Amino acid sequence: MTAAGEGTTTGAGEQMHALVERLYPLCRSITGDGVRATLDIVGEYLPLRVHEVPTGTQVLDWTVPQEWNIRDAYVADASGHRVVDFAASSLHVLGYSVPVSATMPLTELRAHLHTLPDHPSWVPYRTSYYKPEWGFCLAQEILDALPDGEYEVRVDSTLADGHLTYAEHVVPGQVQDEVIVSCHVCHPSLANDNLAGIAVATFLARALAETTPYYTYRFIFAPGTIGAITWLARNAERVERVRHGLVLACAGDSGQLTYKRSRRGDAEIDRVMRHVLTASERPHHITEFTPYGYDERQYCSPGFDLGVGSLSRTPYAGYPEYHTSADNPDFVSPEAMADTLAVCREAFAVLDRNRRYVNLSPYGEPQLGRRGLYDSLGGRSDAKQAQLAMLWVLSLSEGEHSLLDVAERSGLPFGAVAAAADALHDAGLIKA
């Protein structure tokens, strides 16, 4: 990436962090008005096509559930003081809690209270999507301080037929073949998982829109698991166009970048991400596919077998703050999100430019001097590298090797190889 591009990405870091802070208070779940409010805000940055899928719709082996919305929830002591208050944080309520209005002793209430004894000041994130239940999440130190006695318990929620909501943004390309970028929008007040992913996806889409990409890029903002499954069920024909994909999650913490390969293990996106991360000399990890994690497991399921990997910093469940109130806007940084964004841009630049060529003068080495190709290198500090890149491209342009193959085999930077291919193409020595 050029210095100008790096500056743009760095500037976007502060804007992405501001977006995370703005989205943080909203109570998101797999359905409901919190998802809609989130997409409304993202829609201020990108034009979105929002989809509403009715409750009861069959989506592959799943069924779209009832829609959950919540207005208020609390646990109050005998004086009326709210010892647990949904208004203070959306994490305080068990996700998808059914309505309840009751008074009960602490001994009975304890069965519905969730804490983290190992981190007594943190509030856990818990859900009960597909089993009717209610509950509250609170800090262990708050629970320890509660005296025995009667407590008023109130969950003002609705669980009724409605819709599952997801959205798409498309950056048109030169071809209809698609790259999908997916992030989940179902978590409440959790900054790294996955507001940072939403922010990076949003600003990646904006950056791509300023270019003329080769592929069409489709950004999917959907609830985890059921949202990706719903998208796949409703896009069976479009799935045939998907050539590559990337799931973004946990994109803003201070850990090293981690790329999780697709189920195939050798998809083009896997090779591109490995090349970009290695060439950039960033500290990073490459991990193998497992059928557990984020929505890469849906896109990579055997029936679809799409070449979709996952990019994060510290992977899910790999940091103590994961799924707790400690995953707040202070836990993510503009610098980390800017770095994640930069890697995505670098990877997609390689993916977009990676082609196979055929040498039109394959019998012996063509005379580059009389075509002005050597003269064009005069005075360049990288003239020797550029000349070598031309020779490598000519040597491996038989229609089988891609430019990424050339870069990896030659040890030359991908940018130098791509520039050589452009020069040779313009000189009529190779064709795509």
Which residue ranges make up the annotated binding site? 187, 193, 323
d(CA 310, CA 228): 14
Residues of each annotated binding site for Zn(2+): 187, 193, 323
3-state secondary structure of 254: coil
Choose among 327, 188, 189: nearest CA to 251.
Answer: 327
Q: Count CB atoms within 10 A of the CB of residue 281.
A: 7
Helix%, strand%, coil% for the chain, nearest 5: 35, 25, 40
d(CA 88, CA 66): 26
Handedness of CA 194, 200, 202, 205 (dihedral sign): negative
d(CA 239, CA 299): 9
The two three-digit tokens of residue 253, written as one number: 């913490």
165 in Cβ contact with 50 (< 8 Å): yes
d(CA 228, CA 185): 11
CB-based burial label for 79 (10 Å; 0-12, 13-18, 19+) = exposed
Angle at 81 (CA atoms; ends 329, 109), nearest 5 degrees: 85
